[in-house]
Amino acid sequence: MSSSVERATTHWPTSSSSRLLVDGELRAGGAGEFPTVNPATEEILGFAADADARDLDAAIGAARRAFDETGWARDPAFRARCLLQLRDALTRNVGWLRTITVAEAGAPSLLTRGPQLEGPIADLGFFADLAESYPWITDLGRAEPMGVPTRRWVHREPAGVVAAITPWNFPHQINFAKLGPALAAGNTVVLKPAPDTPWCAAAVGELIVRETDLPPGVVNIVTSSDDARGAQLVADPRVDLVSFTGSTATGRAVMASAAASLKKVFLELGGKSAYVVLDDADLRAACAMAAFAVCTHAGQGCAITTRLLVPRARYDEAAAATAAAMSGIRVGDPADPGTICGPLISARQRDRVEGYLRLALEEGGRFAYGGGRVPGMERGFFVQPTLVTGLGNESRVAREEIFGPVLVILPHDGDDDAVRIANDSPYGLSGAVHGTDLERARSVASRIRTGTLSVNGGVWYSADIPFGGYKQSGIGREMGVAGFEEYLETKVIAESA
């Protein structure tokens, strides 16, 4: 494989094993170590500290003390300074982080210039600014409720100890979309990253200790091979808020467990977003963009559009145009700067995607392109970009999240029908509309029940944009001021006047 990725500028200071960050100290895991694997080569990259229940207990205790017993929660200026230090440390070490991200997450290097790494690092600045500019206290003025002269204020305060539980597909984006606002808001955090991407998170822990003034216990990073650590974190009564990103099935388990102690839960879950091509759109251009979107990072993005809705009269033409565009997308080494479609994260994920490819045929579908592994690529968890034709929106392939480069193309009978099909999904995360008449395209966009929508290729990803889902795609919003406010409580002080 070519290796045109930047050279690492930093290495793990002591060995090829990453460590936990607990109470300001880097330490080994009580359960030993577990391997982290390069999904493009299937080679073991190195090892990560494997936290046991006692490590996690110590991390939660440290976060609790840092919240309850230090000035962190009441010092926005200091928090802003620490967040900017972290942003600058990450920026100084971006070459090292890029190497890890490409090797461990299989993220195309090209994407690390944007949402896989550099974008989320820069976004920390947005939350640092918010810590300083946010109106923490609102004066509601005087009133005489029940005849009692009273002066009222609304205070916004941090929620407390935040459990941040994250998946592997965009590890930095999701870790920083939780750390940034949670810390800016004055919380302390225990971050439990996915077992597939421990180094992406552990590298941040190293930089926090070496290059920032973040006080001990404010950020704890607990890598583990065992999902039980996530469950332990959710159940612990010392945790005030759970911020979870992952599958809808796990999100359901998180919500049920958090109910026992009535914790606030914030959930970013799965999607099956529609890409709607209206009958006045440039069909070929729109289909090419849809093909490109589903191949990006091998389709491992919750908000990627995976149902392509095209006018029924032009279904065959659209399928041919989409297949032609897919055939021009190279599947390959994520370190190659030209790659957009790298590997799936693991053999398990490839099994899952291949299961859906079999299901597509069982349900009566056909492959207009792809449908299996990539010929000639023996190593790595690669699958071909795949276009499934001949299925309806009621098929499982059209309803369930596959999390691979698999697009199902469906016919619609006009704008109302396109809206109906787009909304006929258990999910409501994102989507796209393409049409020449902007008023029509806007009208369709306004009727689709999802958290974000792109019209004619507009980009909704940005630090100031709230992101999240309707229906089974989640509860709450991440990023933007709305994402920051998820990490706040509201307190009213009413003073006799």
Binders in 28-67 for ligand NAD, by CB under 6 A: none
Q: Which of residues 369-428 bind ligand NAD (CB under 6 A)?
A: 401, 403
Stretch touching ligand NAD by CB under 6 A, among 4-12, 76-84, 249-257, 326-334 = 249-257
Regarding 266 and contact with ligand NAD (CB under 6 A), the answer is no
Shortest distance, position 54 Cβ to ligand NAD, whole Å: 18
**Of 62-70, 266-274, 282-290, 367-375: span binding ligand NAD (CB under 6 A):** 266-274
CB 270 → ligand NAD: shortest distance, Å?
4
Residue 334 sits in the site that holds ligand NAD (CB under 6 A): no
Cβ distance to ligand NAD smaller for residue 96 or 170? 170
C-alpha 74, offset from chain centre: 29
- Cα–Cα distance for residue pair 145/106, rounded to 1 Å: 60
Tell me the C-alpha distance between 133 and 127, whole Å: 10
Residue placing its CB nearer to ligand NAD in the complex, 76 or 115: 115
Contacting ligand NAD within 162-191 (CB under 6 A):
165-170, 174
- How are beta strands 366-369 and 305-311 bridged, if at all? unpaired
Catalytic residue among 118, 268, 401, 486: 268
The rounded distance, in Å, linking the Cα atoms of 230 and 165 is 7
CA distance 83 to 134: 15
Shortest separation between residue 242's beta carbon and ligand NAD, angstroms: 8
Amino acid in position 158 = P
- For ligand NAD, give the closer residue by CB, 190 or 194: 194
Q: Which structure tokens are listed for 443?
A: 């009208």
Nearer to ligand NAD, 255 or 361 (CB): 255
**Any contact of residue 231 with ligand NAD (CB under 6 A)?**
yes
> Binder to ligand NAD among 171, 198, 270, 311 (CB under 6 A)?
270
Nearest to 78 by CA among 218, 172, 205: 218
Beta strands in 272-405, from DSSP E residues, in sequence order: 273-277, 305-311, 366-369, 386-389
3-state SS, residue 478:
strand
**Residue 451 binding ligand NAD, by CB under 6 A:** no
**Tokens at 389, concatenated:** 């034709």
Task: Kindly report the backbone phi and psi dihedral angles of residue 70, in degrees, each rounded to the nearest multiple of 5, phi listed first.
Answer: -120, 175
Asked if residues 105 and 45 have their Cβ atoms less than 8 Å apart, the reply is no
Contact status: 245 vs ligand NAD (CB under 6 A)? yes
CB 42 within 8 A of CB 350: no
Strands 161-165 and 188-192 come out as: parallel
476 lies in the site for ligand NAD, by CB under 6 A: no
Residue among 379, 368, 347, 244 nearest 294 (CA): 368
Torsions phi, psi for 326 (to 5 deg): -60, -35
Whichever of 369 and 403 has its CB closer to ligand NAD, that residue is: 403
Comparing every residue's Cβ against ligand NAD, the nearest one is 230
Smallest distance, ligand NAD to C-beta of residue 302, A? 3
Pick the closer one to ligand NAD by CB: 205 or 246: 246
Region binding ligand NAD by CB under 6 A among candidate stretches 160-168, 304-312, 324-332, 482-490: 160-168
Q: How far apart are the C-alpha atoms of 365 and 358, rounded to whole Å?
A: 10
CB of residue 230 to ligand NAD, shortest distance in Å: 2
Does 250 bind ligand NAD (CB under 6 A)? Our answer is yes
Least distance between ligand NAD and beta carbon 167 (Å): 3
Question: Which of these, 97, 47, 258, lies nearest to 163 by C-alpha position?
Answer: 258
Q: Are strands 431-434 and 273-277 parallel, antiparallel or unpaired?
A: parallel
Stretch of residues binding ligand NAD (CB under 6 A), selected from 22-30, 139-147, 161-169, 354-362:
161-169
Residue number, 271 or 370, with CB nearest to ligand NAD: 271
Q: In whole angstroms, give the CA distance from residue 205 to residue 212.
A: 10
Please identify which residue in 171, 474, 476, 480 interacts with ligand NAD, judged by CB under 6 A: 474
β-strands 241-245, 406-412: how paired?
unpaired
Q: What are phi and psi of 270, to 5 degrees?
A: -80, 180
118 is catalytic: no
Find out whether 475 and 268 touch, Cβ atoms under 8 Å. no
The Cα diameter of the chain in Å comes to 81
CB of 240 to ligand NAD, least distance (A): 16
Using rule CB under 6 A, residue 268 touches ligand NAD: yes
Least Å from the CB of residue 469 to ligand NAD: 6
The single residue among 83, 254, 291, 323 that binds ligand NAD, judged by CB under 6 A, is 254
Residues near ligand NAD, by CB under 6 A: 165-170, 174, 192, 194-195, 227, 230-231, 234, 245-247, 250, 253-254, 268-271, 302, 401, 403, 429, 469, 474
Catalytically annotated residues = 268
